[in-house]
Structure 1
Amino acid sequence: MQESRRRRRMAITGVAIGALAATGLTFASANQALAEEGCKVDYKVVSTWGSGFQANVTITADEPINGWELKWNFPSGTTVSSAWNVSWSQSGTAFTGKDVGWNASIGSGQSREVFGFIGSGSSTAPGQFTVNGDVCNGPVDPPTSDDPTSDDPTSPGEPGDKVDNPYAGAQVYVNPIWSANAAAEPGGDAIADQPTGVWLDRTSAIYGNDSPTTGSMGLEDHLDEALEQGADVIQVVIYNLPGRDCAALASNGELAADEIDEYKNDYIDPIVDIMGQSKYADLKIVNVIEIDSLPNLVTNVSPRATATDNCDTMKANGNYIDGISYATAELGALPNTYNYLDAGHHGWIGWTNDDPQYDNFHASAELWGSLIGENGMTADDVHGFITNTANYSVLEEPYWDVDQVVGGRPINQNGDVKWVDWNSYNGEIDFATALREELIDNGFNEDIGMLIDTSRNGWGGDYRPTGPSTSTNPIEFVDESRLDQRYNKGNWCNQAGAGLGERPQANPEPGIDAYVWIKPPGESDGASEEIPNNEGKGFDEMCDPDYQGNIRNGNNPSGARDDMPLSGHWSSEQFAELLANAYPPL
């Protein structure tokens, strides 16, 4: 088993997503303009077209900042046409940007991408910046150590070494099958070089089965290709539990509820053998383990009204616990793997309550903690957890808080506000941060990191609000202020109106190892109608746009797109919508 290998330093000096390599994407800073000694401004041009360009701006602070005003002078002829997450003005070449409240604070040693904008003219970075009136002219020095794996979460470490954060400074593998699908679509070349997860959703996917999900490339093919790309990290989704996805038919799998031996012997063991080959010793392999599994054993089992027979079966036979602990222990024994267990999302397990019938948050953390000791699994076998995998929950809602008082009562204590429905969280950053601490309290190491899947949580369409509602009616206030436009947070299938979220990047927030695109944008969540197949995938009414819901989504419409293929299969229409509604925009 691997030894305890990380000590997390919470005052993280962020590493912005950087230059795109010809064969992959590098999680490293680029196009940086230096700031006053003790601070730094990163003015990063992320795309250009004709005379136009998009840039994102990041501030790194040595001392805490509570409210910022950033100024610079553009090259002559450069103008800003639109910007987001900033109050801005331009006079001639002089640009001024101020925080909008929710993004005002930058902690000591922390980097924060504060805003982005669309400009025209020269994309050359300005030569000088001021932050709150002070001229910036020197970089923030990151933590240093003789041991590159000790306290610095931004260090890529040495090849073959375990590091604090596998994404820091890393070039992450670009799946050529997904990349080709994306590049073939109008506008898709803008994101075709982003790293996405490689899904092993059937035993045959280990070896290559010509399916739309994996194509002819098996796991070893992908690992070899990662070496060819010069990648430091590859992301692999371990997703084939017996009785998989007991509350959603669209993503059911090939293994029956009792086929735990087949899962261990025919699925996990071959994966371990392949990943353990010596030629991959210097390749960091991030394993996202069994999405949408353990949370079902909290929320969708008896005596809850949301129970399903399939989930009751999986709780009774223990094969989710058995399978996940076995996979985590076996994969964790390899020196080059980083296991992140799936942790649902805030709209699923964000409820905290003294009554166990309504407490999903603490109950879920306790369930994950119960894995320790099963099949020889230890806390050291878990590098972290991932939230929002293949889902749509926003990172944060900038214009309202769950405990905000509207109409005389805190929003999350008002049962009429069905969008919140007593949930303690309204975004993935706060949820993931709080869950991390709860998981530590339940036996996991203090240095665990979190991942958040941002592949489809941008919600950047024309409907996106630009400020809080002025309504004093709490229902109207939330509906008019929220970014997430789903009918209900329980809606998970091919959500109409969704857009690409934040691009993959390392160390975006304290305790968050990376924003990642584990779900490849453009791949379906499930068929809109029943489609016979040999992949074990059923028809789920939550993927039917005409379905009016059930108790698990508050009896709301499904919000699903029409004319969608089987889960994992490509949809050009959905991909186009994700591009159009991307936020930050492409």
Structure 2
Amino acid sequence: MRMPDFGDRGRHAARHTDAVNRRRGVAAIGAATAAVTLAAVTQLSGVASAGSIAASTQFYVYPSSSVMKWDAANPGDSREPAIAAQIAAQPQGIWFSNYSPSTVQSDASTITTAAAAAGKTPVLVMYNIPNRDCGGASAGGAPDTTSYKTYIQSFANGLGAHPVIVILEPDSLALQTCLSAAQASDRDAALAFAGQAIHTADPSAKVYMDAGHSNWNSASAQAAALNAASVKTSADGIFSNVSNFMATSDEVNYDKQVLSALGNPSNLHIVVDTSRNGNGPASGDPWCDPSGRALGQTPTANTGDSQVDAYLWVKPPGESDGCADAAGTFDPALAYALITNGPSHSASPTPSASASPSPSASPSKSPSSSPSASASPSASPSHSPSSSPSASASSGGCHVTYAVQSEWAGGFTAAVTITSAKAVNGWTVTYHYGGDQKVTSAWGATASQSGANVTLTNVSYDASIAAGATLTGVGMQGTWTSSDAAPSSFTLNGVACN
């Protein structure tokens, strides 16, 4: 199975056609699971079954996930025990976001066969719909509907007669603003075909269609989109909150409203992505690697609610949305923050400060790289990446760079790197914006702002910088109105770096 060239499924600059309704994010390649057995589910070929999945169902841990590879390669990292126990040991979605028609059948077969041998159910995320992401930062997928149907049929043929959960095309129904009426109709037909093809090829499969999330479209509008895609006859239910941070209770309430608007069909149930929603959404609902988030409910089919089939980690925790790192990159700093920000963090080992907590991006032979949250504005970026503001400041004692990673009309994400000639234990970086930028969230640091002056202060895991080492994994998301000119006047612990 191959890792796709997914430079930017972080959807960091072009995915919010409606910036108010669509702060979301999609997620991820990878996986990891707990253990135990599974009760197989039966279905009529091509038609969704009426029963929810058994509460005893256990989900498959994918041994080639990015977190598993990082864990194996970093046994001496002080964060490794916590990440191994609280993230790598949990089941996560395995994303098929690389359009690879020649290998998709064997890729699917390899996973489902291994999962069945272990008595587990894999969670596969199909993400290859034509016009994916409305041509934004996560553009890609099949070139046309005919190709997509062929691709889906091959995927279905690879499932075998094994229990499997298929999360079918995140954003495909919540985001259709770029499509003409004819294109939307073609997409609806393709999704209906996909559900039927999967059920026919594998009667034990469960298929769930896109419901967006509770802060996106209205329940009635989302129900209408689902109905147009024949959800009642092509799927077993709906999914929501993929790669987002909305509270589980809000998602369940919203999803039930969607089902009610569909007439409460008895064969449709709910799946919620709880991978990173332990603290709910960040203030202002930033979508891209926001700070302060925490792991949510661990994956389970024992939900205690007859309408809710499962809480799943569709987005693998610790994989970047595209701001802290390239989209889909496993970043141990992000992963560890999700652990320490949660209520059980006191039981987690405290990492010793490392010289450089830069993300580890171990290569993977997974069916896809990890798509991530996208919040792109409808307007195209005002600057091309080559003209995006950036700055670099250095002196004999320190070197600071600030580089915009993505930019659009009214918003941006940026990364900061820090190099110090002397060893540092605890750091503060200040700089002065040349425009009217406002920082709304940060990662790898806490941020405060007074006018054009910004102060970044280390967080617990990246306080130390070894002499001559470079600290990465620090960045921010923000807004601007009339000017986004590059910053200047960098200091490190009060010492000018220019």
Place the TM-score, normalised by the shorter chain, in its bin. Answer: 0.5 to 0.7
1:25 aligns with 2:11: no
- Measure the CA separation in 2 of the matches of 1:538 and 1:383: 25
Q: How does 1:147-546 map to 2 (within 5 A)?
A: 156=39, 164-178=51-65, 180-181=68-69, 183-184=71-72, 186=80, 187-191=82-86, 192-204=88-100, 207=103, 218-231=107-120, 233-246=121-134, 249-256=136-143, 259-265=144-150, 267-275=151-159, 277=160, 281=161, 283-297=162-176, 301=177, 311-313=178-180, 316=183, 318-333=185-200, 334-349=202-217, 360-372=218-230, 379-396=232-249, 427-440=250-263, 445-459=265-279, 483-488=280-285, 491-510=286-305, 511-526=307-322
- Measure the CA separation in 1 of the matches of 2:373 and 2:255: 31
- Check conservation: 1:529, 1:539, Cα contact below 8 A: no
- Measure the CA separation in 2 of the matches of 1:207 and 1:331: 17
Q: Cα gap change, 1:535/1:224 in structure 2, threshold over 3 Å: closer, same or farther?
A: closer
Instruction: Give the C-alpha shift of residue 521 in structure 1.
Output: 1.2
**Counterpart residue type for residue 288 of structure 1:** I
C-alpha offsets along residues 8-31 of structure 1, whole Å, 9 cap, x if unaligned? xxxxxxxxxxxxxx9842489xxx
Instruction: Give the C-alpha shift of residue 181 in structure 1.
Output: 3.4
Q: How does 1:51-90 map to 2 (within 5 A)?
A: none
**Counterpart residue type for residue 167 of structure 2:** V
Seq. identity, %: 25
Which structure has more relative contact order (CA 8 Å, sep 6+)? It is 2
Q: Cα gap change, 1:25/1:438 in structure 2, threshold over 3 Å: closer, same or farther?
A: farther
Q: Cα gap change, 1:537/1:164 in structure 2, threshold over 3 Å: closer, same or farther?
A: closer
Please, what TM-score do these two structures have when normalized by structure 1? 0.47
C-alpha offsets along residues 450-474 of structure 1, whole Å, 9 cap, x if unaligned? 0110001112xxxxxxxxxxxxxxx
Q: Cα gap change, 1:537/1:431 in structure 2, threshold over 3 Å: closer, same or farther?
A: closer
Q: How does 1:7-26 map to 2 (within 5 A)?
A: 24-26=34-36
Q: Cα gap change, 1:541/1:220 in structure 2, threshold over 3 Å: closer, same or farther?
A: same
**Superposition RMSD on alpha carbons, in Å?**
4.2
Instruction: Give the C-alpha shift of residue 319 in structure 1.
Output: 3.3
- Measure the CA separation in 2 of the matches of 1:538 and 1:517: 13
Q: Cα gap change, 1:393/1:318 in structure 2, threshold over 3 Å: closer, same or farther?
A: same
- Measure the CA separation in 2 of the matches of 1:317 and 1:23: 36
Corresponding residue for 1:375?
A: none
Q: Cα gap change, 1:562/1:239 in structure 2, threshold over 3 Å: closer, same or farther?
A: farther
Q: Cα gap change, 1:201/1:558 in structure 2, threshold over 3 Å: closer, same or farther?
A: farther
Corresponding residue for 1:150?
A: none
Q: How does 1:83-98 map to 2 (within 5 A)?
A: none
C-alpha offsets along residues 58-85 of structure 1, whole Å, 9 cap, x if unaligned? xxxxxxxxxxxxxxxxxxxxxxxxxxxx
- Measure the CA separation in 2 of the matches of 1:562 and 1:207: 38
Instruction: Give the C-alpha shift of residue 316 in structure 1.
Output: 4.3
- Measure the CA separation in 2 of the matches of 1:556 and 1:447: 47
Q: Unpaired segments of 5 or more residues in structure 1?
A: 1-21, 29-155, 210-216, 302-310, 350-359, 373-377, 397-426, 460-482, 564-572, 578-586
- Check conservation: 2:93, 2:123, Cα contact below 8 A: yes
- How many pairs align? 313
Instruction: Give the C-alpha shift of residue 343 in structure 1.
Output: 0.7
Q: Cα gap change, 1:549/1:452 in structure 2, threshold over 3 Å: closer, same or farther?
A: farther
Instruction: Give the C-alpha shift of residue 497 in structure 1.
Output: 2.2
Runs of 4+ in structure 1 off by over 4 angstroms are 157-163, 313-317, 527-531, 534-551, 555-558, 560-563
- Check conservation: 1:345, 1:428, Cα contact below 8 A: yes
Q: How does 1:542-557 map to 2 (within 5 A)?
A: none
Instruction: Give the C-alpha shift of residue 498 in structure 1.
Output: 1.6
